[in-house]
């Protein structure tokens, strides 16, 4: 069976999802888990775009071993220098450079002649290849480029030293048969193609990113670029979990393998969802809450008689044996930390102690603590953003005949800021009081609350989306008290804003 190289771009294209910005620590945690899961290449960021991106690539390259670390660069020397510098300590280093090749991008965006685009690409690849052993080249908007031009530029960049040619469906425009045919045409139309590996990078604007990736594999692509939970620009990228399970479940039809340990899929997905505070839609393949739930009587009957009647894969194959009772109030630190490690949650000593204290509080209020709760406890309590603000105290007066009034005390750099406010409801009152205490102007775009696990004593998880200075920022908080969860979610969004905006 031929192996497909999996390049995960959660930390680069994935982070380009509106609202999905991650702190450096958050990115590092994801990278550790990606390596543990068996990803071949981690695209760690676009270093020239900000110091934050540069530092994240640097930290991941220094500390995450056993995997290739790639960094993105436009076809300009400064970008390539930063990509090189930030990944120089990687065990295996790859520089990924790109330039747009479609008529529409060359004319309106680059305002360049096609021959000049080729020159720039060739120069950039040569420059990158002098610095690093592996260079990947992407003709951006590849699927809307003219085939003859595409073949010409690909031939030239291979001569210049590129060893991976990535064909991006940048705007999610291609249809599977058409995309497969394009890969085949490139194999036939680029004379030196045997010196390079063909990669694909599909966006999901028409919901066919995975289908396009599979069609490309059948046509000869041997690297596929994906993201966890399918996050990415606009509608996102092909999802890693879908690719891995499609190749595994339909191995009869698609005789290819990956190096991914599929039992790590669910943990990784939850970890990411908690770090970026994006809830996973219930009906999402593989990782959504309903992906293995059987509702119709006929289906339930069938599954009880024989699972394979309605299940094409087992939940265990993707690591979904969660929701089983794991820990309770009598669990010790040892059992707690062992379970966190099994879930891919890597904490240093101090953080582990804090998380354990929080676990004990929750276990006191709620008899059964599930894996789902542990993900929330860890990400909520420790935060993956620097904690500029800490919710020190809150109190709410509310009732059907009174005006909801909240008092909050927020700690910032050892100083306490206490404020009170009224609101349309208790949640509005808390948010108004926090706004006053921190002095930041926000607009609440979205507010959701959901129970993490079944039962009345469940942890409630609140997600808020705020608009601050035209930026969309998401925050999450959890507690068995949903008003406390709301206050925490709001403060976590403010902390995330501070961390990401560097203000």
Query: Which residue ranges make up the site for ligand KIV (CB under 6 A)?
Result: 13, 98, 138, 140, 166, 168, 170, 201, 203
Nearer to ligand KIV, 233 or 484 (CB): 233
Nearer to Zn ion, 49 or 62 (CB): 49
Residue with tokens 């961390």: 499
Residue 244: CB minimum distance to ligand KIV, A: 20
Q: Is 169 in the site for Zn ion (CB under 5 A)?
A: no
Binds 492: which of Zn ion, ligand KIV, none (CB < 5-8 Å by kind): none
Q: In what order do the strands lie in the sheet with 389-399?
A: 389-399, 402-412, 415-422
Residue 175: CB minimum distance to Zn ion, A: 18
CB 192 within 8 A of CB 154: no
Binds 375: which of ligand KIV, Zn ion, none (CB < 5-8 Å by kind): none
Binds 476: which of Zn ion, ligand KIV, none (CB < 5-8 Å by kind): none
Residue 84: CB minimum distance to ligand KIV, A: 17
Binds 102: which of ligand KIV, Zn ion, none (CB < 5-8 Å by kind): none
Q: Where are the alpha helices (DSSP H) in 343-470?
A: 349-365, 371-382, 426-438
Nearer to ligand KIV, 226 or 421 (CB): 226
Compute how many residues bind Zn ion; rule: CB under 5 A: 1
* Residues pairing with 199 in the sheet: 166, 223
Nearer to Zn ion, 13 or 461 (CB): 13
Residue with tokens 């990411």: 272
Residue 201: CB minimum distance to Zn ion, A: 6
Distance in angstroms (rounded) separating the CA atoms of residues 304 and 300: 6
CB 6 within 8 A of CB 41: yes
Name every residue whose Cβ is closer than 8 Å to that of residue 334 and which is 6 or more positions away in sequence: none
Residue 12: CB minimum distance to ligand KIV, A: 8
Q: Which residues of 348-380 are buried (b: 16+ CB within 10 A; e: fewer)?
A: eeebbeebbebbeebbeebebbbbbbbbbbbbb
Sign of CA dihedral 280, 281, 284, 286: positive
Q: Is 136 in the site for Zn ion (CB under 5 A)?
A: no
Binds 98: which of ligand KIV, Zn ion, none (CB < 5-8 Å by kind): ligand KIV
Residue 503 burial class via C-beta count within 10 angstroms: exposed 0-12, middle 13-18, buried 19 and up: exposed
Nearer to ligand KIV, 86 or 492 (CB): 86
Distance in angstroms (rounded) separating the CA atoms of residues 180 and 184: 6
Residue 502: CB minimum distance to ligand KIV, A: 24
Contacts 24+ apart (CB under 8 A), 355-360: 355/381, 355/382, 359/327, 359/331, 360/329
Nearer to ligand KIV, 15 or 368 (CB): 15
Over its C-alpha atoms, the chain yields an Rg (Å, rounded) of: 24
Residue showing the smallest CB distance to Zn ion in the complex? 13
Nearer to Zn ion, 228 or 459 (CB): 228
* Residues pairing with 362 in the sheet: none
Q: How many CB atoms lie within 10 A of CB 467?
A: 14
Binds 138: which of Zn ion, ligand KIV, none (CB < 5-8 Å by kind): ligand KIV
Would you give the binding string for Zn ion spanning residues 5-24, x where CB under 5 A is met? Answer: --------x-----------
Q: Is 484 in the site for Zn ion (CB under 5 A)?
A: no
Nearer to Zn ion, 11 or 363 (CB): 11
Six token digits for residue 160: 């210049």
Nearer to Zn ion, 202 or 493 (CB): 202
Beta-strand ranges (E) seen in 143-290 are 164-169, 197-202, 223-226, 256-257
Residue 143: CB minimum distance to ligand KIV, A: 9
Q: Is 82 in the site for Zn ion (CB under 5 A)?
A: no
Residues that bind Zn ion (CB under 5 A): 13
């Amino acid at each position: 069976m031929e192996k497909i190289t999996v390049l995960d771009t959660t930390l680069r294209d994935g982070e380009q999802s509106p609202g999905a910005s991650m702190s450096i620590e958050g990115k590092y945690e994801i990278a550790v888990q990606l390596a543990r899961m068996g990803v071949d290449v981690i695209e760690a960021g676009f270093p020239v775009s900000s110091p934050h991106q540069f530092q994240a690539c640097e930290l991941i390259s220094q500390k995450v071993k056993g995997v290739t670390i790639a960094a993105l660069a436009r076809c300009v020397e400064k970008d390539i220098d930063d990509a090189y510098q930030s990944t120089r300590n990687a065990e295996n280093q790859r520089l990924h450079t790109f330039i747009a090749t479609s008529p529409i991008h060359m004319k309106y965006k680059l305002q360049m002649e096609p021959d000049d685009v080729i020159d720039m690409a060739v120069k950039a690849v040569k420059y990158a290849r002098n610095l690093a052993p592996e260079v990947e080249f992407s003709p951006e908007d590849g699927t809307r480029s003219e085939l003859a031009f595409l073949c010409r530029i690909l031939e030239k960049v291979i001569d210049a030293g590129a060893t991976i040619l990535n064909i991006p469906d940048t705007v999610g425009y291609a249809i599977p048969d058409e995309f497969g045919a394009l890969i085949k045409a490139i194999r036939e139309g680029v004379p030196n193609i045997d010196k390079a590996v063909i990669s694909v990078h599909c966006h999901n604007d028409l919901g066919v990113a995975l289908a396009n990736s599979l069609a490309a594999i059948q046509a000869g692509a041997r690297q596929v670029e994906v993201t966890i939970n399918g996050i990415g620009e606009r509608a996102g990228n092909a999802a890693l979990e879908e690719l891995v399970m499609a190749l595994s479940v339909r191995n009869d039809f698609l005789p290819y393998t990956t190096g991914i340990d599929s039992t790590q899929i669910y943990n990784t997905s939850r970890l990411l969802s908690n770090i970026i505070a994006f809830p996973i839609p219930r009906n999402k393949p593989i990782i959504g809450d309903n992906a293995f739930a059987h509702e119709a009587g006929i289906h339930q009957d069938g599954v009880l008689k024989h699972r394979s009647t309605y299940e094409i894969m087992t939940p265990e194959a993707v690591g979904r044996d969660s929701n089983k009772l794991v820990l309770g109030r009598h669990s010790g630190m040892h059992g707690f930390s062992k379970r966190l490690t099994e879930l891919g949650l890597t904490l240093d000593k101090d953080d582990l102690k804090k998380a354990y204290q929080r676990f004990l509080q929750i276990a006191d209020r709620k008899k059964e603590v599930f894996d789902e709760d542990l993900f929330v406890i860890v990400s909520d309590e420790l935060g993956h953003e620097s904690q500029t603000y800490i919710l020190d105290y809150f109190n709410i007066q509310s009732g059907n005949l009174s005006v909801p009034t909240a008092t909050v005390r927020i700690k910032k750099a050892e100083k306490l800021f206490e404020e009170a406010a009224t609101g349309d409801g208790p949640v509005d009152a808390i948010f108004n009081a926090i706004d006053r205490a921190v002095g930041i102007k926000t607009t609440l775009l979205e507010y959701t609350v959901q129970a993490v696990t079944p039962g009345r004593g469940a942890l409630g998880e609140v997600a808020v989306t705020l608009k601050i200075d035209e930026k969309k920022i998401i925050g999450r908080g959890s507690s068995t008290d949903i008003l406390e969860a709301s206050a925490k979610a709001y403060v976590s969004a403010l902390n995330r804003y501070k961390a990401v905006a560097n203000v």
